[in-house]
């Protein structure tokens, strides 16, 4: 596995700065029950990195100190951290909205039989990966049997109220292209997902997020193997749209790795592009620094993968940044 990948010249990418911080995105660890082709974290069953208790204890303190409104839990499979539920409960007590980046199949792993009920009890928003509404495409990208488990998990979440009108339980789906292409227009794709999943499986959801694959870690290695790495970066750069800059997730989110170190986004985390220090005397920025450090107005570190968030309709943890059909 390569830790670094070839880079393109970034000449022309504009400097960007942070707005007010409202979301803490925490990677609880890289362990996952799956090993997806498009994974930019290179997560899998063999990964052992997990956030320790000292850093876990800082999460509610930072949420409270910075008056943050959202805790976004990711991984790997964040639910595989043995204290995942403790973190959710602590945030819930503070009135913080919690997001779980869920691969759906985790609901059927041993020891997670009550996970869906727990998520519903604490009103956790579920953002679930489902790269297609057809079996062959999903299993090709995420492994044999994934589609059937994902459908069963979505049906279970629906039965608990997720995705249902006026339930307050939010279920959003995530689409990723299978290869070196940009995602299609989000609004039309969401309509197709809604129609197919309802007709064939009686599944309902709130929204679909169409995300571009990032040329990082496992997907970056895949592109190199297929000799498509530079062509894909050129595709991202050629489709750059300045309209997406204002709504980039790095404007109001900070990413925390399993060791507690800070990054502008999850993608920078995987590339080791740490958050800039407040001054040259500071050590590597850490979660504990947020107890007293305000990031508003600070510069954001950019690299060529930033074109993945600004290409076409744009791409972020919350889906497309603007609607191409009306832009």
pLDDT in tens, 19-62: 999 999 999 999 998 876 666 677 888 999 999 999 999 999 99
Structure tokens at 9: 């010249």
3-state secondary structure 137-200: HHHHHHCCCHHHHHHHHHHHHHHCCCCCCCCCCCEEEEECCCCCCCCCCHHHHHHHHHHHHHHH
Which residues have C-beta within 8 Å of that of residue 273, sequence separation ≥ 6?
Answer: 263, 264, 301, 303
Rounded to two decimals, what is the model's pTM? 0.88
In what helix (H) or strand (E) does residue 250 lie, and over which residues does it extend? Answer: none
For residue 311, the cross-strand partners are: 240
What pLDDT score does 320 carry? Answer: 44
DSSP H helical ranges for 33-145: 53-65, 84-93, 115-121, 135-142
Structure tokens at 150: 């994902």
146, 139 Cβ separation under 8 angstroms: yes
3-state secondary structure 67-84: CCCEEEEECCCHHHCCCH
Phi-psi region of 168 (alpha: psi -120 to 50; beta: other; left: phi over 0): left
Q: How far apart are CA 74 and CA 247, in angstroms?
A: 21
Structure tokens at 82: 């043995």
Note the CATH number of domain 23-310.
3.20.20.70
What pLDDT score does 319 carry? Answer: 42
> Strands, DSSP E only, in 229-280?
253-256, 262-263
Structure tokens at 198: 């309802």
How would you classify the pairing of strands 23-27 and 253-256? parallel
What pLDDT score does 52 carry? Answer: 98
Residues of the chain with pLDDT under 70: 1-12, 36-40, 137, 139, 141-143, 278-282, 312-327
Domain ranges (residues) in the chain: 23-310
Torsions phi, psi for 171 (to 5 deg) = -125, 110
Structure tokens at 193: 């997902």
251, 19 Cβ separation under 8 angstroms: yes
């Amino acid at each position: 596995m390569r830790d670094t990948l070839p880079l393109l010249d970034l000449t022309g990418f504009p400097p960007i700065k942070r707005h007010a911080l409202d979301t803490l995105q925490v990677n609880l660890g890289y362990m996952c029950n799956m090993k997806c082709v498009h994974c930019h974290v290179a997560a899998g069953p063999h990964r052992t990195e997990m956030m320790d208790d000292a850093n876990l204890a800082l999460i509610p303190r930072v949420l409270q100190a910075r008056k943050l409104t959202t805790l976004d839990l990711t991984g790997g499979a964040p639910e595989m951290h043995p204290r995942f539920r403790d973190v959710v409960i602590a945030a819930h007590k503070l009135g913080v909205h919690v997001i779980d980046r869920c691969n759906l199949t985790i609901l059927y792993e041993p020891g997670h039989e009550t996970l869906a009920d727990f998520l519903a009890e604490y009103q956790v928003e579920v953002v679930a990966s489902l790269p297609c509404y057809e079996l062959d495409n999903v299993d090709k990208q995420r492994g044999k049997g994934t589609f059937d488990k994902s459908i069963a998990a979505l049906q279970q979440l629906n039965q608990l109220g997720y995705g249902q009108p006026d339930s307050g339980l939010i279920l959003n789906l995530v689409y990723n292209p299978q290869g070196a292409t940009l995602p299609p227009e989000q609004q039309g794709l969401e309509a197709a997902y809604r129609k197919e999943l309802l007709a064939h499986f009686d599944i309902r959801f709130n929204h679909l997020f169409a995300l571009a694959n990032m040329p990082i870690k496992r997907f970056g290695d895949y592109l190199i193997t297929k000799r498509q790495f530079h062509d894909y970066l050129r595709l991202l750069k050629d489709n750059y749209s300045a309209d997406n800059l204002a709504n980039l997730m790095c404007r109001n989110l900070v990413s925390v790795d399993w060791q507690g170190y800070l990054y502008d986004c999850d993608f920078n985390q995987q590339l080791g592009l740490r958050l800039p220090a407040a001054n040259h005397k500071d050590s590597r920025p850490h979660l504990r620094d947020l107890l007293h450090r305000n990031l508003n107005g600070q510069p954001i570190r950019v690299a060529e993968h930033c074109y993945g968030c600004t290409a076409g309709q744009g791409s972020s943890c919350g889906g497309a940044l603007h609607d191409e059909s009306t832009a």
